[in-house]
Chains A and B, each alone.
Chain A
């Protein structure tokens, strides 16, 4: 890989994995929360 288009590639991959990471985090936080509630 050469350095051409570094900004565009880094921004695309960075954004992609930030969004997917955030979705993963939100999903597991919601699951942990619902498990802690009484009656479950």
Chain B
């Protein structure tokens, strides 16, 4: 038992100093993102003011993809090496990933209506993003469906690994097929297709979302670990 908790203990030590730093970064970056996004950044030459929706839509989409990928990677580590923090990570992160995907879908819809002329279309990008949302919900339901928590986590891990094929589909849908959604503005190899004055709120929000996610996922992991300990203590016969 001690060996199994060796890792969580080291993890909790790490959380102690990462968490306050992440809180400071989250508050600062979100405030900067909101101020520059809503007040100081310019209107777009084509889309006018509605471009401001991009500053939450795009970072939320990045988070949705990043969180799922990290959950699948952790599930893989958990399945193969039985690393307990990795096993619990996916469970802790799933509701946050679902929340960011939901934000991405709804803000996209609120942006699509005035610009494209439709709240929703079934093109490859939007459809694969909706599938990602259902994967998050399906994962949460599956993990909860088992009486034995460990069985739920293992079944969920398989679902996460299977669903990982959806991630490159979302990312490259706009390049592989004709879609209504436009291709990426920021790519690793090209100069950004976004003006610097618009890049600032976009990146501030992205940093803010990442830091907020870090804080929340750490607290959720602490909660899961504490719950696990309580359960083991109760099963061990007497608190």
For residue B38, which residue of chain A has the nearest CB? A1
**Within the complex, what minimum Cβ distance (angstroms) separates B143 from chain A?**
15
**Within the complex, what minimum Cβ distance (angstroms) separates A31 from chain B?**
5
Query: Given A5-B48, A16-B107, does the pair A23, B216 have CB atoms closer than 8 Å?
Result: yes
CB-defined contacts of B43 to chain A, threshold 8 Å: 1-2, 4
Once bound together, how far apart are the Cα atoms of A31 and B215, in whole Å? 12
CB-defined contacts of B38 to chain A, threshold 8 Å: 1, 9, 13
B113 interface contact, C-beta 8 A:
yes
CB-defined contacts of A6 to chain B, threshold 8 Å: 49
B50 interface contact, C-beta 8 A:
yes
**Within the complex, what minimum Cβ distance (angstroms) separates B235 from chain A?**
12
Task: Give the interface size bracket for B toward A.
Answer: 35 or more
> Which of B1-9, B185-193, B222-230 has 4 or more CB atoms under 8 Å from chain A?
B222-230
**Chain B interface mostly:** helix
B49/A13 in contact, CB under 8 A: no
B91 interface contact, C-beta 8 A:
no
CB-defined contacts of B56 to chain A, threshold 8 Å: 12-13, 16
A8/B113 in contact, CB under 8 A: yes
B106/A8 in contact, CB under 8 A: no
Most buried by B among A8, A11, A15, A38: A8
B20 interface contact, C-beta 8 A:
no
CB-defined contacts of A35 to chain B, threshold 8 Å: 226
Once bound together, how far apart are the Cα atoms of A5 and B99, in whole Å? 24
- A interface, CB within 8 angstroms of B: 1-6, 8-9, 11-13, 15-16, 19-20, 23-24, 26-28, 30-31, 34-35, 37-40
A selection of 23 A-B contacts at a CB cut-off of 8 Å is A1-B49, A2-B43, A2-B48, A4-B43, A4-B48, A5-B114, A8-B111, A8-B114, A9-B50, A9-B52, A12-B110, A13-B34, A13-B52, A19-B103, A23-B99, A26-B95, A28-B219, A30-B220, A31-B219, A31-B226, A34-B223, A37-B230, A39-B233
